[in-house]
Amino acid sequence: MEIFRKQKENFRDFARGLQERRVLVVCDANTEPFTENIGRTLSAAGKEISLFRFPDRHLVPEIGRLKELFAAAEGADYLLGVGSGVINDICKYLSAKTEKPCGILATAPSMDGYVSGVSALYENGRKVTLPAAPPREALIDVNILANAPLEMIVAGAGDLIGKHTSLLDWKLARNLKGEKYDAEIVARMEKALSLGMESAKKLVLRDFAAVETLIDGLLLSGIEMQRAGNSRPASGSEHHISHYLEMKGEEMGKDFAPHGVKVALGCLVSAAMYKYAAGEYAELSSLQGEIAALPAPETLSALYREIGLPAKFGEIGVSRELLEETIRNAWTVRERYTIMTFLHEKGALGRLAPALAERFA
């Protein structure tokens, strides 16, 4: 993937370098204002532009609703999404289906899925994960990213902070289950995590340098997921908690918080599980150093308070009962070995759930 930055290389280089002539720009009601500049730049480079606008402010990516978009894409050679998670997921999916290349002009540094090879969509109201073609080009304008809703910006930091436990879960699976592991990918993911931590405290100020550091971390994380061929490096028990809540949220017709916010909260629970298990089970002695280096849940929640992330599940509308249910069941959302699977195998998960729920609700 090629990354174009507004600050250094102008988007004109992107427009001039683009081989395809007919560009379909895809946006929603929130991101439409950001289509104007890039549209002008593309026109100036001799491209033929058409615009597809979803009228929604809270766009739900239901596959049944994409018919018109597919029709519009017939007259295009290249698809340019202008948005973040949902628009990107739609364009990546469309790109895979039509075999036309796509790019993304990112409008919020909210998650690390920009470059991933799957899309989270809905089919008849149910969430489905479908193969997608990652964007060939990513357009990064810090001026746009820094002006995204603050909740979306700190959510991006949350998605990276979650790597604390996703990486440890991978090491756990390597040590206990002999799972395939890649030290180089882990080293680069640790870099992504440190970029997230480095940026976190200045995000609330919409500090340009911090936002740029954050998006660098998110893109790096996405690229490493692509390299791994799956989300193992970036998604462990903390993400299972987030995904379980997403599923429950759909049932309840509620959207608790952006993805990265739920991941950050999940990371508190996972970190507490590691700290507990390290003192309890000899099998974890090979990870002693890593678990000692993992920040304590209190340290993380103090950081969350400082940077404007929720530090309790109650703050995003998750009750103590639902949290307890989530802690008991989140390991079942997918087949991936994590600290939650380990505690389940030990018969300890159900026993720990009430106290953990009480602590983090």
Q: Which residues bind Zn ion (CB under 5 A)?
A: 159
Closer residue to Zn ion, CB minimum distance, 159 or 212: 159
Nearer to Zn ion, 171 or 262 (CB): 262
Residue nearest to Zn ion (CB): 159
The SS3 call for residue 109 is: coil
Buried b (16+ CB within 10 A) or exposed e, 113-127: bbbbbbbbbeeeeee
Give SS3 for 123.
strand
Residue 158: CB minimum distance to Zn ion, A? 9
| Nearest residue (CB) to Zn ion, 89 versus 159 | 159
Concatenating the DSSP letter of every residue in 70-100 gives HHHHTT-SEEEEEESHHHHHHHHHHHHHHT-
Smallest gap from Cβ 175 to Zn ion, in A, equals 24
Residue 231: CB minimum distance to Zn ion, A? 8
CB 19 within 8 A of CB 42: no
Q: By C-beta, is 159 or 224 nearer to Zn ion? A: 159
- The rounded distance, in Å, linking the Cα atoms of 113 and 155 is 13
Which tokens is 146 given? Answer: 């820094």
Q: How far is the CB of 262 from Zn ion (least distance, A)?
A: 9
Output 135 or 260, the one with its CB closest to Zn ion: 260
Distance CA 61, CA 69 (A): 12
Q: How far is the CB of 117 from Zn ion (least distance, A)?
A: 14
DSSP secondary structure string for all residues of 136-196: SEEEE-HHHHTTS-HHHHHHHHHHHHTHHHHHHHHHHHHHHH-----HHHHHHHHHHHHHH
Nearer to Zn ion, 30 or 242 (CB): 242
Instruction: Give me the least distance between CB of 186 and Zn ion, in Å please.
Output: 17
C-beta closer to Zn ion: residue 103 or 236? 236
Distance between CA atoms of residues 171 and 6, nearest Å: 38
Residues 6+ apart with CB under 8 A from 99: 133
**Contact predicate 360/265, CB 8 Å:** yes
Kindly tell me which of 141 and 159 has the beta carbon lying closer to Zn ion: 159
- As measured in angstroms, the least distance from the Cβ of 239 to Zn ion is 6
Those residues whose C-beta lies under 8 Å from the C-beta of residue 250, and which sit 6 or more positions away, are: 125, 126, 127
What minimum distance in Å lies between the beta carbon of 76 and Zn ion? 30
CB 117 within 8 A of CB 131: yes
Say if CB 126 and CB 281 are below 8 A apart. no
